[in-house]
A and B are shown apart, each in its own frame.
Chain A
């Protein structure tokens, strides 16, 4: 399987998860989107040393995973992109910040270590939140929510059209890549002699495709207007969910749950 085929599988997996049914899937896309954004903002707002304050934020995604029935496994697969990046940035911290802030038995814990862990957790939490949003919301519903937020129609339409053709183009390039390597065994990538023509050929064909696509739109009465499926009504329970989430996050942000819980045991 080449990289493009893997990408197609990943897209297919997201699509499949998004159309399942669960209490979370049934919520209005707008309320889910806003809750997710607030969650990420609150997560990011924790101080870089505030590890114990940050930890309780894990409860929301964990709860959502359980309610929606989405497997944690598919989310962690995506961590392979976020974690190396965040870790590489964070790994410098222990070297630059050597202030000992805590003594665990004989083991001194420095500020750098704490801030590195905080950064990594933030990375994981934010990923889980946006993953859960996409795993429970089909792209067309998300676009409907974007329209409700007055994101310009042109951009939303472009997003949907592009999403539709990402699969088609990736598939074509996957086939072309296989065909190339079948005739060029032992080459890791595209040889310099074909740098231009490989993508260029597809690009020219795509221009014809775009023309045909436009014809198809014209022939069905297109006049600069795209009509989309009905936006589902925003119900009380959606508003409640949104408000509930926001309150919960604020609570976690302002009240030091971990300290209080820990305080009951350790004095």
Chain B
């Protein structure tokens, strides 16, 4: 789900930076208030662990393919939403800086799509209400069921939100000609499957932690199973979750060919999905019936106004002289390389 720079217009990238930056600022403020100095090393080590853990291949029984973990839900269940969010930011930053996984300008969008939903929505609307509820009764086994339910619902919902944001951001950037509806129909069902697998993996890990060190989990009371009444907030949250899940299911049905795609994805796990730490799934282009609208928005929001193009008669601004010029630029680039090689050799010889 990591977006590349090329898929975003500067204005969209900047907007997402502002949004993610604000969330990060609030998180830092909250963490400073809580004043738990030992949290920093825990965050760093857990973030490093999740970074490495994303590379593990989990065999999905009966399919011969493998799934992966992204970690937003896992981090917020372990560290809480704010610390989880910040940890996720540094994971994404390291992936983008050192592995070209996502881009420097797309980082803001990636943080929003993967970390914000996974940590804040996943925690406040799903993990906490479910863990504090008395769903499935009381006692340890009910607690286990709640962990499984929260992980799976959390991963599915947050991935649906993330996938939808990817479509929205790419469409607003006016990059592809793929109609908005078709793009959504491609992305959402695939992420339903991915979210389900991720949810299963996350719940397996969290259950293991619960059995050995329940005190490490947020909102899990190892001693007494707190019996709080379901508040209005919880009900609203549950309704929202149900709506999202149903919506995702409907889009699965609505999709013109839901069959081939997800298995193509998972079948390619080794080369594609896996190799890219889970990115192939947004290999499906952008843009809406309002391709023109998007274009217009981009026109207005573009980094620089387009006044320099008045003389271009074709929409491409591409003329024969343009092509010849491009070839000449390429020639200049080759010349620079040759010159660079020449000077280096000279330097070595000297």
Direct contact of A and B (CB under 8 A): yes
Q: Which residues of A line the B interface, CB within 8 A?
A: 3-4, 7, 10-11, 14, 36-37, 40-45, 47-53, 55-56, 58-59, 62-63, 65-67, 69, 78-82, 84-93, 95-97, 99, 101-102, 104, 109, 111-112, 114-115, 119-120, 122-123, 126-127, 129-131, 133-134, 139, 142, 152, 154-155, 157-159, 161-166, 168-170, 172-173, 177, 187-192, 195-204, 206-207, 209-211, 213-214, 217, 222-224, 250, 253-263, 265-266
Q: Which of A196, A197, A209, A257 contacts B325 (CB 8 A)?
A: A257
Q: Is B94 close to A, CB under 8 A? A: yes
A-B contact list, 13 entries, CB within 8 Å:
A7-B99, A37-B104, A45-B9, A55-B329, A120-B6, A159-B93, A188-B59, A192-B58, A206-B48, A207-B46, A207-B216, A253-B308, A259-B321
Chain A residues, CB < 8 A from B339: 66
Among residues of B, the one whose C-beta sits closest to the C-beta of A114 is: B316
Q: Is B304 close to A, CB under 8 A? A: yes
A45-B304, A93-B285, A254-B308 provided; 5 other pairs, C-beta below 8 A?
A126-B6, A130-B96, A161-B41, A190-B57, A265-B321
B 166-191 contacts with A by CB, 8 A: 170, 174-179
A92 contacts B285, CB within 8 Å? yes
A82 contacts B100, CB within 8 Å? yes
Can you list the 7 inter-chain pairs with the closest CB atoms, starting with the nearest?
A: A66-B340, A88-B283, A258-B325, A52-B322, A262-B325, A200-B208, A189-B57
Q: How far is the CB of B306 from chain A (nearest CB, A)?
A: 7
- Most chain A CB neighbours (cut-off 10 Å) among B5, B53, B204, B206: B5
A204 contacts B212, CB within 8 Å? yes
B 24-68 contacts with A by CB, 8 A: 24-25, 28, 31-32, 37-38, 40-49, 51-53, 55-61, 64, 66
Q: Which of A10, A91, A195 contacts B285 (CB 8 A)?
A: A91
Q: CA separation between A99 and B291, bound complex, in Å?
A: 14
Q: Is B119 close to A, CB under 8 A? A: no
B274 contacts A101, CB within 8 Å? no
A159 contacts B283, CB within 8 Å? no
Q: How far is the CB of A184 from chain B (nearest CB, A)?
A: 10
B100 contacts A200, CB within 8 Å? no
A217 contacts B329, CB within 8 Å? no
Q: Is B253 close to A, CB under 8 A? A: no
Q: CA separation between A66 and B336, bound complex, in Å?
A: 7
Chain B residues, CB < 8 A from A88: 280, 282-285
A158 contacts B177, CB within 8 Å? no
Q: CA separation between A253 and B69, bound complex, in Å?
A: 41
Chain B residues, CB < 8 A from A92: 176-178, 284-285
A134 contacts B94, CB within 8 Å? no
A49 contacts B318, CB within 8 Å? yes
Q: How far is the CB of A158 from chain B (nearest CB, A)?
A: 5
A123 contacts B4, CB within 8 Å? yes
Q: How far is the CB of B205 from chain A (nearest CB, A)?
A: 5
Q: Is B86 close to A, CB under 8 A? A: yes
Q: Is B154 close to A, CB under 8 A? A: no
B51 contacts A166, CB within 8 Å? yes
Q: Which of A210, A223, A253 contacts B42 (CB 8 A)?
A: A210
B 278-328 contacts with A by CB, 8 A: 279-280, 282-286, 302-304, 306, 308-309, 314-328
Q: How far is the CB of B298 from chain A (nearest CB, A)?
A: 8
Q: CA separation between A40 and B7, bound complex, in Å?
A: 12
Q: CA separation between A139 and B325, bound complex, in Å?
A: 38
B276 contacts A266, CB within 8 Å? no
Q: Is B230 close to A, CB under 8 A? A: no
- A10-B66 contact given A89-B175, A90-B285, A162-B90, CB 8 Å threshold: no
Q: CA separation between A39 and B177, bound complex, in Å?
A: 25
B 88-118 contacts with A by CB, 8 A: 89-91, 93-94, 96-101, 103-105
Chain B residues, CB < 8 A from A126: 4-6, 103-105
Q: Which of B10, B51, B87, B323 contacts A169 (CB 8 A)?
A: B51
